[in-house]
Amino acid sequence: MLIDIKGKDIICTQELSISEIRALLKLSKEMKSDRFGEKYSSLLKNQTFLMFFFNPSLRTRISFEAAATELGGHAQFLEPKTMRLKKTSKGVEVQAGETIEDAARVLDRYGCGMGIRILETSVENYGDGNAILREYARWMKAPIINMADDKYHPCQGLSDIMGMQEHRGELKSKTVLMTWAHSSLARSYCSVHEHLLISSRLGMNVRLAYPKGYDLPEEEISRVKENCQKNGTSFQIFHDPDEAYTGDVEFVYSRNWFGPDFYEIGKEAEIFRASKMTDWICTGERMSRTNNALFIHPMPVDRGKEVTDEVASGPDSIIVDIAENRLHTQKAIMAMTIAGLKVDV
């Protein structure tokens, strides 16, 4: 089956078909094995990919710029500090400057596509960042790629899966443990949501562990449960930092995320609260109870809090492989959505 997603917005992997996900992963692996080959080096020749960064970035900015360059194009960095955004009953509006409609329609004339990064610290309410991204998608004909918003991070989810497949092959029926960890940071849901959604979508058993009071939004948990039900796989929730580390776990994803009242109490209060739960950390002893589990994480890693150095830098850590894969999955996304490359799956 030939997969064609030219012009498609990539906002959340849950909105892609399984065939589209497989096509993107297949192309990502081919691009990785032939990184500088001529086959893909001119797909974006003379074209400009626009990047809106409401929040700072290391891996995302560099990987997208490198991806555009390696496809023969150019990535232009935009930092809209002067744009103050809010959510109104009529939709997302700009308080100062111009409307998203006007900005998007003009940008559509300049670029071949646009990536947007807008996390929780740039909006007032959960979901506003995602709504802003979708408002740009509403007015632009060129594809919008989510570079991480306050709900989802599709490029990270695809890169996680790519790395897991590279090391363990077919993932169906394998078990991944997603566990909360304490941190000196107050981290958003986007990478966590995306991993839970795409891993459950591809037939993995999912374990979710977190202290009481750190429930993820019910909308996303319902989707994960539904994905598992469709695949005949299990979804379990634990509230003990030890209990979920058992012999059937093949991947461990230990990461902090803030509580559901984050937008009310603020970042400092969240960090103070999380700092007390030091038992929630991925250690070598806990990993030893698993089925030789690989450690995965979207980075940056808060070492000594989310995970020990022994695990993060150990032989079973694939975090750097996954970080590298961001380049390749993003090249595949741009090649298929912007250049119109079709992939047979």
Please give the DSSP secondary-structure letter assigned to residue 179.
E
> What is the Cα–Cα distance from 14 to 30, expressed in whole angstroms?
23
**How deeply is 122 buried, as exposed, middle or buried, from its count of CB atoms within 10 A (0-12, 13-18, 19+)?**
buried
Per-residue pLDDT, averaged over 111-132, amounts to 94
- In this predicted structure, what is the pLDDT of residue 87? 46
Give the CA distances from residue 89 to residues 120, 173, 231, 289, in Å, rounded to whole numbers and listed in that order.
20, 44, 38, 51
Give the CA distances from residue 138 to residues 9, 26, 47, in Å, rounded to whole numbers and listed in that order.
10, 29, 22
> What is the Cα–Cα distance from 279 to 237, expressed in whole angstroms?
18
Which two tokens mark 327? 């380049």
Please give the DSSP secondary-structure letter assigned to residue 217.
P
Q: Whose CA is closest to 15, among 154, 131, 159?
A: 154
* Residue 331 pLDDT level (bands cut at 50, 70, 90): very high
User: What pairing do the DSSP bridges indicate for beta strands 85-88 and 91-94?
Assistant: antiparallel
User: What pairing do the DSSP bridges indicate for beta strands 343-344 and 2-3?
Assistant: antiparallel
Per-residue pLDDT, averaged over 251-269, amounts to 96
Neighbours of 110 (CB within 10 A): 11
Per-residue pLDDT, averaged over 314-328, amounts to 98
| Residue 85 C-alpha from the chain's centroid | 23
Per-residue pLDDT, averaged over 155-182, amounts to 98
Inter-residue contact 321 to 312 (CB < 8 Å): no
Percentage above 90 pLDDT, the chain: 90
Give the CA distances from residue 321 to residues 39, 119, 288, 296, in Å, rounded to whole numbers and listed in that order.
23, 24, 22, 9
Q: What is the mean pLDDT of the chain?
A: 94
- In this predicted structure, what is the pLDDT of residue 89? 40
pLDDT tens digits for 13-45?
A: 999 999 999 999 999 999 999 999 999 999 999
pLDDT tens digits for 48-88?
A: 999 999 988 889 999 999 999 999 999 999 887 655 544 44
Residue spans of alpha helices (H) in the chain: 18-33, 59-70, 100-110, 128-139, 154-168, 190-201, 218-231, 262-265, 267-275, 284-287, 309-312, 319-337
pLDDT at 104 over 70: yes
Domains detected in the chain: 2-153+325-344 (3.40.50.1370), 154-322 (3.40.50.1370)
- In this predicted structure, what is the pLDDT of residue 98? 76
* Residue 97 pLDDT level (bands cut at 50, 70, 90): low
pTM above 0.75, yes or no: yes
3-class DSSP assignment, residue 169: coil
> What is the Cα–Cα distance from 22 to 5, expressed in whole angstroms?
12
Residues with Cβ < 8 Å from 6, sequence gap 6 or more? 336, 337, 338, 339, 340
Q: Whose CA is closest to 111, among 147, 136, 81, 74?
A: 74
pLDDT at 240 over 60: yes
Residues with Cβ < 8 Å from 33, sequence gap 6 or more? none
- In this predicted structure, what is the pLDDT of residue 224? 98
- In this predicted structure, what is the pLDDT of residue 90? 44
> What is the Cα–Cα distance from 180 to 239, expressed in whole angstroms?
10
The widest CA-to-CA distance across the chain, in whole angstroms, is 56
> What is the Cα–Cα distance from 133 to 87, expressed in whole angstroms?
12
pLDDT at 145 over 90: yes
Residues with Cβ < 8 Å from 149, sequence gap 6 or more? 11, 116, 117, 118, 119, 129, 130, 132, 133, 190
Q: Which residue has the tokens 């795409």?
A: 198
Neighbours of 118 (CB within 10 A): 25
pLDDT tens digits for 172-229?
A: 999 999 999 999 999 999 999 999 999 999 999 999 999 999 999 999 999 999 999 9
Please give the DSSP secondary-structure letter assigned to residue 317.
B
- In this predicted structure, what is the pLDDT of residue 51? 96
> What is the Cα–Cα distance from 132 to 150, expressed in whole angstroms?
10
Please give the DSSP secondary-structure letter assigned to residue 97.
S
